[in-house]
Amino acid sequence: MAAAHDLELESVNLDMGREMKEELEEEEKMTEDGGGKGPAKNKKVHRIVSKWMLPEKSRVTYLERANCFPPPVFIISISLAELAVFIYYAVWKPQKQWITLDTGILESPFIYRPEKREEVWRFISYMLVHAGVQHILGNLAMQLVLGIPLEMVHKGLRVGLVYLAGVIAGSLASSIFDPLKSLVGASGGVYALMGGYFMNVLVNFREMIPAFGIVRLLIIILIIASDMGFALYRRFFVPANGSAVSFAAHIAGGFAGMSIGYTVFSCFDKALLKDPRFWIAIAAYLACVLFAVFFNIFLSPAN
């Protein structure tokens, strides 16, 4: 009986193998004939995205249900809003120079300023304002290149959660560790995406194509080094007539990404709310938020 059972299983596996082979041959034939060119291209895009964004065990599930609905609206909308605000302050507000903005953005109702912390929207809206061309181009490039594939895989709600967690963590960390300095830029959100992706690549390194994994890690490190260099310059080497800008948001956004972001991005084919790691990360995040609120009300030197 056992032998008969084994033969049946082998027969089933052979049949499945033949079916998969036939499907692949049919797909290749359609591509060669020019028929189904759109679907074939879409599958190729999704296959590339899955290799860059997911460990091997999750790729099959993604490819089975992959589609562009809903499209990556969150990242595109945020990027357009940031670009629109930058153009507004670069063109229609008085500036000494538009390559590195100064006077106009410091009077913006969006920028985080320690003396105006009671205007709580500034803890989030500062992400819309950028200090110069290099600043906004770096953030837009990174969040589009990384954010769109992430949103294709994980959808806008999850990516938005990670991004905004990084933005809020950035402003609260700046209010604690650099309490007398202003804050601009979406680096907190961008670093949250990078932190979550970085941890996902690191933990699943062997499954995410080692050669590409090394390249991805090196690219992330290069971008972080370049962006942190610009942030440190804005903080410590700003001209005497300029205004220093805090860089704590970069670090806090990265930590938010490595905790909440990693948990969210590693739960692609699982129910996020049922994962205990998610609730542990959320609890730790909320504890830090409560401490930051307490610090700003009672202990901040900016009071």
Sorted by sequence, the CB contacts under 8 Å of residue 63 that are 6+ apart come out as 43, 46, 47, 50
Per the CB < 8 A criterion, the answer to whether 201 and 217 are in contact is yes
* Three-class secondary structure assignment of the chain: CHHHHHHHHHHHHHHHHHHHHHHHHHHHHHHHHCCCHHHHHHHHHHHHHHHHHCCHHHHHHHHHHCCCCCCCHHHHHHHHHHHHHHHHHHHHCCCCCCCECCHHHHCCCCCECHHHCCCCCHHHHHHHCCCEHHHHHHHHHHHHHHHHHHHHHHHHHHHHHHHHHHHHHHHHHHHHHCCCCEECCCHHHHHHHHHHHHHHHHHCHHHCCHHHHHHHHHHHHHHHHHHHHHHHHHHHCCCCCCCCECCHHHHHHHHHHHHHHHHHHCCCCCCHHHCHHHHHHHHHHHHHHHHHHHHHHHHCCCC
Q: How far is CA 91 from CA 76, 82, 99, in A?
A: 22, 14, 11
In angstroms, the CA 271 to CA 265 distance is 12
In angstroms, the CA 30 to CA 43 distance is 13
**At how many degrees (to 10) do helices 56-65 and 37-53 cross?**
150
Of the candidates 196, 163, 164, 166, the residue with the CA atom closest to the CA atom of residue 267 = 196
Per the CB < 8 A criterion, the answer to whether 123 and 112 are in contact is yes
How many Å is the Cα radius of gyration of the chain? 23
Whether residue 250 lies in the annotated active site: yes
pLDDT given for residue 29 in this prediction: 44
In angstroms, the CA 69 to CA 115 distance is 43
CATH numbers and ranges of domains, the chain: 73-299 (1.20.1540.10)
What would the pLDDT profile of 90-118 be if each residue is shown by its tens digit? 888 766 666 666 666 878 899 999 999 99
pLDDT given for residue 20 in this prediction: 38
pLDDT given for residue 232 in this prediction: 74
Name the catalytic one among 58, 250, 259, 266.
250
Name the catalytic one among 187, 246, 259, 266.
187
The answer to whether the predicted template modeling score (pTM) of the entire model surpasses 0.85 is no
| Amino acid residing at 203 | V
pLDDT given for residue 83 in this prediction: 95
Of the candidates 135, 144, 154, the residue with the CA atom closest to the CA atom of residue 79 = 144
Count Cβ atoms below 10 Å from residue 203 Cβ, excluding itself. Answer: 13
Q: How far is CA 273 from CA 28, 61, 164, 205, 282, in A?
A: 40, 19, 18, 25, 11
pLDDT given for residue 5 in this prediction: 39
pLDDT given for residue 213 in this prediction: 61
| Amino acid residing at 43 | K
Whether residue 182 lies in the annotated active site: no
Tell me which residues of the chain have a pLDDT lower than 70.
1-41, 66, 94-104, 205-213, 216, 231, 234-235, 238-246
Count Cβ atoms below 10 Å from residue 164 Cβ, excluding itself. Answer: 18
- Torsion angles phi and psi, residue 27, rounded to 5: -65, -45
In angstroms, the CA 142 to CA 148 distance is 10
